[in-house]
Amino acid sequence: DGGITQSPKYLFRKEGQNVTLSCEQNLNHDAMYWYRQDPGQGLRLIYYSQIVNDFQKGDIAEGYSVSREKKESFPLTVTSAQKNPTAFYLCASRQPGTGPTFAFFGQGTRLTVV
Amino acid sequence: GIQVEQSPPDLILQEGANSTLRCNFSDSVNNLQWFHQNPWGQLINLFYIPSGTKQNGRLSATTVATERYSLLYISSSQTTDSGVYFCAAILETSGSRLTFGEGTQLTVNP
């Protein structure tokens, strides 16, 4: 089945450690996105990529890094520089264009830093 | 970039009631979507609706692009409709940036 997969579902890390969240899609989409959601809040854009080997900062990129070496993969690294990394992280993909182009989301990763 | 605002932020209904959720956006958009976030955090696609009206069962949506707003209608609400409803917009010439509103938290009581 086509879809977008995030792993792991739950992740616990000690303060000061870097951690990488996985996002894989087999929808052949060019664009991929990472969002952060805090309890009771909306989705804030961290990074997005329109095409392989290219990505742009979103609204809250500080303390995060990404890579886009393959079309199907867009991993997010939460670095020790991120001051409050505990949150729900959502990855999405879509095919850019002006026709009907749904964005599809993974099931999310809940990161807890202790 | 595009600004997206949703109202109301919270809505509490009795089962069977109807509701209207609103999404305002600051610029002309190529892509406007409505999502439902379930209690487990999963975002479910409801509508792709940059303009016009669509219906899917008890849900329908209307976007008036010239006036920069979209409405999501829920009729005969059920407890399973509870959750957060988001709208999100893209202006493709701004680089495929998908911008979300803050959401409407809907609670449907039995």
Is B7 part of the contact surface with chain A (CB cutoff 8 Å)?
no
* CB spacing of A108 vs B101 below 8 angstroms: no
Is A78 part of the contact surface with chain B (CB cutoff 8 Å)?
no
- Buried b / exposed e across A75-87, counting CB within 10 Å, b at 16+? bbebeeebeebbb
Enumerate the β-bridge partners of residue A24: A5, A73
Q: Band the pLDDT of B54: cuts 50, 70, 90.
A: very high
Q: What radius of gyration do chain B's Cα atoms show?
A: 13
Chain B residue numbers touching A97 (CB-CB < 8 A): 92
Q: Band the pLDDT of A40: cuts 50, 70, 90.
A: confident
Is B83 part of the contact surface with chain A (CB cutoff 8 Å)?
no
* CB spacing of A101 vs B48 below 8 angstroms: yes
* CB spacing of B97 vs A45 below 8 angstroms: yes
Selected for mutation to probe chain A from B96, B100, B106 (highest A CB count within 10 Å) is: B96
In this predicted structure, the answer to whether residue B60 has a pLDDT above a threshold of 80 is: yes
Look at residue B90 in the predicted model and tell me its pLDDT. 85
Q: Which residue of B has its CA nearest to A47?
A: B97
3-state secondary structure at position A9: coil
Q: CA triplet A24, A74, A4: central angle to 5 degrees?
A: 25
Phi and psi, residue B81, nearest 5°: -80, -10
Looking at residue B21, its amino acid is L
As a whole number, mean pLDDT of residues B61-85 equals 96
- Structure confidence by residue, pLDDT tens digits, A50-105: 999 999 999 999 999 999 999 999 999 999 888 899 999 999 999 887 667 788 99
Cα B88 versus chain centre, distance = 8
- Structure confidence by residue, pLDDT tens digits, A46-56: 999 999 999 99
